[in-house]
Amino acid sequence: MKNTFNKSFRQGCFEGAGIPGISLCASFFALGAVFKNTGLDAYQSFLSTLIAFALPGQVVMAETLIVQGALLNVFLAVLLTNARLYPMTVNLIPVVRQEGRPKWHYYVLSHFIAVTSWVHFLANYEKIKKEDRFNFFLGFSSTLWFLSVIATVIGFYIAGVISKKIFIALIFLNPIYFLCMVVSNLRTKHIIFTVIFSFILSPILFLLSPQWSVVIAGLVAGIVSYLIFIHFK
């Protein structure tokens, strides 16, 4: 059992340190510079990634601080931004669940769930034995978390040395990687339909509501796709 844990955990760590880790580190590296420009110190920047580990929520926090938003505004903005992690966790835990494993293990694992680890794992979990999935994901996701914490601190101290344009490009590297992963895994009709329909709706809805166009487009496309391909199938 111990050898199995070590093998699957190491395999997860190895994959996490590859392309997924590089793309995520680039974004958190840029985030560290953003934090410095908002007035946060190195300790606060370090704790932000250590405790939160949610890039969009951390970016929203930084932007709200820049405009001198109240603490309540920061809390609500981050809460709404990170709410996406809940359905991701609900979707992932049954895949890695093992009989006899204590529940608190899953609470610990939930902290490491992020979009990058979630997409990568769900695209490859069928290749991993069921009894090894928990350990693999723990190694993969914790490696991403560890590297992101380090990258945030390094980015904080290097801010001002590298051009702002480079930092802006780096922070979008991980979302681009995520988009590529999603596109590469478009295998079912309802997902393909949802993506294409959202793509068509977004610019149309932008003319009516620039602030909510993307959210509404995704919601409408998801509901229509569900009704056509699942509910009325």
List pLDDT tens digits, range 125-158: 888 988 899 999 999 999 999 999 999 999 999 8
**Pair (193, 149) in one structural domain:** no
On whether both 179 and 190 belong to a single domain, the answer is no
Vertex 122 angle, CA 181 and 2, to 5°: 125
pLDDT in tens, 171-181: 777 677 777 77
Taking residue 44's Cβ as centre, other Cβ atoms within 10 Å add up to 12
Q: What is the pTM of this model?
A: 0.79
Q: Please answer whether residues 152 and 28 qualify as being in contact, where contact means their C-beta atoms are separated by less than 8 angstroms.
A: yes
Is 16 in contact with 139 (CB distance < 8 Å)? yes
Owning domain of residue 19:
2-183
Same domain, 172 and 200: no
Q: Is 53 left (phi over 0), alpha (psi -120 to 50) or beta?
A: left
**Are residues 208 and 124 part of one domain?**
no
pLDDT band at 124 (very low <50, low <70, confident <90, very high): confident
Q: What is the pLDDT of residue 123?
A: 81
Whether residue 35 is found in the same domain as residue 74: yes
Higher pLDDT, residue 192 or 206: 206
Of 7 and 136, the one with more pLDDT: 136
Residue with tokens 């051009």: 163
How many whole angstroms separate alpha carbon 228 and alpha carbon 233? 7
* Domain match, 149 and 207 both: no
pLDDT of the residue at 146: 95
Of 183, 200, 221, the residue at which a domain comes to its end is 183
Number of domains in the chain: 2
Average pLDDT over residues 41-57: 89
Same domain, 78 and 107: yes
Does 103 lie in the same domain as 210? no
- Residue 89 reports pLDDT greater than 80: yes
Question: Do 99 and 12 share a domain, yes or no?
Answer: yes
Supply the mean pLDDT for the chain: 85
Across the range 46-66, mean pLDDT stands at 87
Q: What is the model's pLDDT at position 172?
A: 74
- Considering the domain architecture, whether residues 95 and 167 belong to the same structural domain is answered as yes
Which residues pair with residue 159 across a beta bridge? 162
Residue 134 contacts residue 109 (beta carbons within 8 Å): yes
Q: Are residues 86 and 130 in the same domain?
A: yes
pLDDT classification of 93: cutoffs 50, 70, 90: very high
Query: 157: which residues sit within 8 A by CB, 6+ positions away?
Result: 32, 42
CA–CA separation, 34 and 164 (whole Å): 10
- Pairwise pLDDT comparison (173 vs 16), residue with the higher score: 16
Are 227 and 194 in contact, with CB atoms under 8 Å apart?
no
Please give the average per-residue pLDDT across 98-113, as a whole number: 91
Closest C-alpha among 204, 181, 189 to residue 18: 181
d(CA 178, CA 200): 20
Judge if 202 and 157 occupy the same domain.
Answer: no
